[in-house]
Chains A and B, each alone.
Chain A
Amino acid sequence: MQIESEQSGGALLLRVMEPRIDAAGAIGFKEAVRAATARPGSPVILDLSRVEFLDSSGLGALVAVLKLLGRERPLELAGLTAPVARVLRLTRMDSIFTLHANLPGTPALPQTG
């Protein structure tokens, strides 16, 4: 799965470039985030504005990444589309993650991470 990363202030912004995080893509997503978070930066902000579909496997992958990063490096979600926000709300995971209504700052030119 393609993820672009960018350091923005102290934070690490990860932009998910695929439209779906589902059962077929969950493992690839976890691996791509793990690789991208080798770069420093905290919190880690996931830009999900291009993601139009998240299923329970994708949600499980988000939780796995949250746990992987640990308490010192919070995972925050930004740019939720309506279907993604709905899945988080239905599973009450919207209270687990810090959610940003808007994407932080003005993105610079994307870099491949």
Chain B
Amino acid sequence: MVEGTTHSAAHLHCPESGERRCLTLTLPGSDAETRKVIRQLRQMLMARNLAEDTVHTTELVLAEVLNNIVEHAYAAGPGPIRLTVSQHPGWLDICVQDQGQPLPEELLQGSPLPEPEHHTQDLPEGGFGWHLIRSLTQDLHYRRTAGQNLLSFRIALDSRRVASGLETKPRQ
């Protein structure tokens, strides 16, 4: 994808032939497999000398995205997930594809977080995942096409650009 392209179809940062990639993998959707892949990814990002904040952001967002696919898109049974991470100057483009149930699009828009003064027994035990994804990514886009879910987003490499939740000192 060309940075700066405004055509809506270009908003999905999914790989095209010839694009520089640092990782493409296909995994069977399960919690245990997700954990394994996330740990591998963490090691790979660390090896690229990315800031610890960036590595944690990527690890957390991908854990949320993959868990969501396993629990919802593939609720009826496991299926393949294709994950592509490409590194650019200043950001990572990440694209996740699956062949499961469509994503309810309201999840991308977001619902409010529980208010802290709520009674403890009323607190939700779920629903935090999409909030984390939205908080920690830029350029989040979803498309359903040909029976596939495509979700793409960017993660800034400069930790100072990461929204709230920023760790205090960016490491070089």
Contacts and interface: CB of A to CB of B under 8 A. Distances in A.
B104 interface: no
Given A24-B35, A83-B56, A86-B56, A67 B123 contact: yes
Interface in A16-72: 20, 22-24, 53, 55-57, 59-61, 63-64, 66-67, 71
Interface residues of B, number: 32
A87 interface: yes
Nearest to B67: A23
B38 to A, nearest CB: 8
Contacts of A56: 64, 67, 126-129, 131-132
Contacts, number: 83
Contact of B63 (A55, A64, A82, A95): A55
Nearest to B60: A55
Given A22-B63, A24-B34, A96 B113 contact: no
Given A24-B32, A87-B132, A90-B132, A55 B165 contact: no
The listed residue with most A CB atoms (<10 A of its CB), out of B114, B124, B136, is B114
Tell me if A's interface is mostly helix, strand, loop or mixed.
helix
Contact of A23 (B70, B125, B127, B135): B70
Tell me if B's interface is mostly helix, strand, loop or mixed.
helix
A90 B165 contact: yes
Nearest to B167: A82
B56 to A, nearest CB: 5
A67 B121 contact: yes
A87 B121 CA distance: 21
Contact of A59 (B35, B38, B128, B136): B128
Interface of A: 20, 22-24, 53, 55-57, 59-61, 63-64, 66-67, 71, 82-83, 86-87, 89-93, 95-96
21 contacts: A23-B35, A23-B71, A24-B31, A24-B34, A24-B35, A53-B60, A55-B132, A56-B126, A56-B127, A56-B131, A57-B67, A60-B128, A63-B125, A67-B120, A67-B125, A82-B56, A86-B165, A89-B165, A90-B165, A96-B116, A96-B120
> When A and B form their complex, which 7 residue pairs have the shortest distance between CB atoms, in order from nearest?
A56-B129, A56-B128, A95-B116, A24-B31, A90-B165, A60-B125, A23-B67
